Amino acid sequence: MALTKAPLLEKRYGEEEEEKEKKKGGFWNKLVDVEEVKTQFMFSVPMIITTLAYYAITLVSVMFAGHLGELELAASTLANSWATVSGLALVTGLSGALETLCGQAYGAKLYRMLGIYLQSSIIISFFFSIIISFVWFYSEPILLLLHQKPQVAKMTAIYLRYFIPGLFAYAMLQCMLRFLQTQTVVTHLVICSVAPLAIQVGLCYVIVFHTVLGFKGAALSAAISLWISVLMLGLYINYSDKFKYTWQGLSMESFEHVLPSMKLAIPSAVMVCLEFSAFELLVLLAGLMPNSVESTSLTAMCINTEAVALMITYGFSAAVSTRVSNELGAGNADRAKNAVAVTLKLSIFLALAVVLCLLFGHNLWASAFTNSPVIMKDFASMTPFLAISMLFDSVQVVLSGVARGCGWQVFAAWTNLVAFYVIGMPIAVFTGFKLQLYARGLWIGIICGLFCQAGILLLITLRTDWVKLELSVNKDRENTVLA
């Protein structure tokens, strides 16, 4: 049976030409599929820039707030961590269902369904955002129950209340990003993310240091910048001719797909939240240590550093998720398998480059968060541990992308539960408190969790029968991607 190419690969060479190129390519083509690398980079680089820009919007607020004082640094970092684990990670995970649904629908040429799935996902995300908003508004008593210092808990709650509008913007952004990503429309995402980031830098500076809002303004500026990005992307999707087949306007049909879509959205959210929660739980544990303000600031800085590295390699995760889902939808199992192998190599190489930058430039990076020489010295001692965790993270983020592309969200969720909460967190508590390694001990636990997570996902990927995956997708192509 002849294989049909996914839209993502329309510009690639034919099979015979690819074989000729491989023979000409010599050593490099034997090491890695050069054409696949080119395709991956054309997709990944814009996604890396976009992901970093959106992450930086909230990070800029933390940086400006941190320069108001140590209490403000502790509160803003805790607020950012709490917002991530209790809200941003959840809506990001919910939108992950679109990577399976829209990706496979696009590969199977069910173009109209992409717009329907987008609307269904936005409805789901908005519903959960309303619930999260109440949690954020009353977060102070929750943080006090978690034994956070009263002053830090109060300031954290204030920050979160002013960031609530940003939650709804972030939820819409994640859905629109997945919608565009699965169609490999990534260049315009750079403009719609970098421009709001540039606005955020100036806006946050003015509001924090030159208005009465001060600390509150840091959160509010991030929310405003995210809504600017939503407006830019919404106008682009609605008026661009590129989406005349995949976006045909609002439809009541989307409500029919809300509950079926949740079969993937909920496991996808659990999958993401379990991992994010493990990292953010470290901030809460750091608050229980001696010199809790210093420990909280240091741990949060390490998490933000890890997150930035993750955002860089996430571009490859998005690429492999799209490639796998598109190819499986089009019936090209071999191409999907090849894309996984190439992406893993690229992600590890990029992670090594990031690690080298951190090892030689950790003092410069730390100075962006704090002026405290004590915290900067402690951060330097954490650098080797961060380097190890980044390498494992670069592997798992790609394999998690494979899971989303294949629709393995349930398996990935169970993997994260075992890796982080059965193995990683108990080790973190033991080494951090019992052995009195404190922040270093907490990070040892995370390293163990990441190692187990990457190992389990790699085992699942290697033992996958890609032909059976292809057939299970193809049998539903004439109807919808949903089972």
Mean pLDDT for each 10-residue chunk of the chain (483 residues)? 41 45 52 72 84 88 85 85 86 88 83 90 93 92 84 90 94 93 87 93 91 88 94 92 87 86 88 84 81 77 82 80 80 79 83 86 79 82 89 88 84 91 93 86 92 91 72 44 44
Q: What is the pLDDT of residue 33?
A: 67
Q: Cα–Cα distance between 136 and 170 in angstroms, integer?
A: 15
Place of tokens 């608050």: 287
Structure token digits, residue 268: 């996808």
Q: What is the pLDDT of residue 13?
A: 40
Spans of all domains in the chain? 33-474
User: In Å, how far are 96, 98, 220, 343 from 322, measured between CA atoms?
Assistant: 11, 10, 33, 12
Residues in CB range of 345: below 8 A, 6 or more apart: 32
Q: What is the pLDDT of residue 475?
A: 41
Give the pTM: 0.79
Q: What is the pLDDT of residue 11?
A: 43
Q: What is the pLDDT of residue 231?
A: 95
Q: Cα–Cα distance between 252 and 123 in angstroms, integer?
A: 11
Q: What is the pLDDT of residue 30?
A: 55
Q: Helical H runs in 240-332?
A: 253-256, 258-286, 292-330
